[in-house]
Chain A
Amino acid sequence: MFAKIIGCALILIASTTAGYIAKFRADQRIKELENMLVCMQGFEYEICYNISDIIKATKNLVRISSIHNQKIFLSFLESAQKSNGKPLSEIWQETMNQKREECYFLKDDFEIISQFGSVLGCGNVDTQAKNIAILKERISKQILNLKTKSEKSGNLPAKIGIYAGLVVIVMIF
Chain B
Amino acid sequence: VDKTIKKNEIIMFFPERIRGLFENINEKIWNNITNIRITSGKPIIVETTDYRYYMNIKGDINICLSGDEFVVSQKDVSNITELVTRSSIYAYSRYINEGFITLPGGNRVGVAGDTVFENGKICAVNRINSLVFRLSHEKKGIADLVIDDIYSNGRISNTLIISPPGCGKTTLLRDIARNLASHKTNPVICALIDERYELACAVDDQPGLDIGQSSFAISGLPKHVAIPMVVRTMSPDVIIADEICGMKDYEVIEYALSSGCKFIATVHGKDENNNEIKCCYTDKKIFEYQIVLGKEKGVGTINKIIRSG
Taking Cβ atoms with an 8 Å cutoff, the residues of A that contact B are 47, 51-56, 80, 83-88, 91, 120-125, 127-128
With A85-B79, A85-B80 known as contacts, the answer to whether A55 contacts B86 (CB < 8 A) is yes
Q: Which of B40-48, B89-97, B137-145, B242-250 contacts A (4 or more CB under 8 A)?
A: B89-97
**CA of A102 to CA of B90 in the docked complex: distance in angstroms?**
31
Are A83 and B89 within 8 A (Cβ)? no
**B interface residues, tally (CB under 8 Å):** 18
Are B82 and A86 within 8 A (Cβ)? yes
**CA of A109 to CA of B21 in the docked complex: distance in angstroms?**
44
Are A51 and B91 within 8 A (Cβ)? yes
Per-position contact with A for B1-40: 1 when CB-CB < 8 Å, else 0? 0000000000000011000000000000000000000000
Interface residues of B, dominant DSSP: helix
With A84-B15, A85-B15, A125-B93 known as contacts, the answer to whether A53 contacts B79 (CB < 8 A) is no
Are B87 and A88 within 8 A (Cβ)? yes
**CA of A125 to CA of B86 in the docked complex: distance in angstroms?**
15
Are A85 and B86 within 8 A (Cβ)? no
With A85-B80, A86-B82 known as contacts, the answer to whether A80 contacts B87 (CB < 8 A) is yes
**CA of A101 to CA of B206 in the docked complex: distance in angstroms?**
38
Are B124 and A124 within 8 A (Cβ)? yes
Are A85 and B88 within 8 A (Cβ)? no
B90 contact from A55, A91, A121, Cβ within 8 A: A121
Starting from the known contacts A88-B82, A123-B89, A124-B124, 9 additional A-B residue pairs (CB-CB under 8 Å) come to A52-B88, A53-B87, A54-B86, A56-B204, A83-B83, A85-B82, A86-B82, A88-B87, A121-B87
Give the chain B neighbours of A128 by CB distance below 8 A.
90
Give the chain A neighbours of B79 by CB distance below 8 A.
84-86
Are A124 and B87 within 8 A (Cβ)? no
Give the chain A neighbours of B74 by CB distance below 8 A.
none
A–B pairs, 12, beta carbons within 8 Å: A51-B91, A53-B86, A85-B82, A86-B79, A88-B82, A121-B90, A122-B89, A122-B90, A124-B90, A124-B93, A127-B90, A128-B90
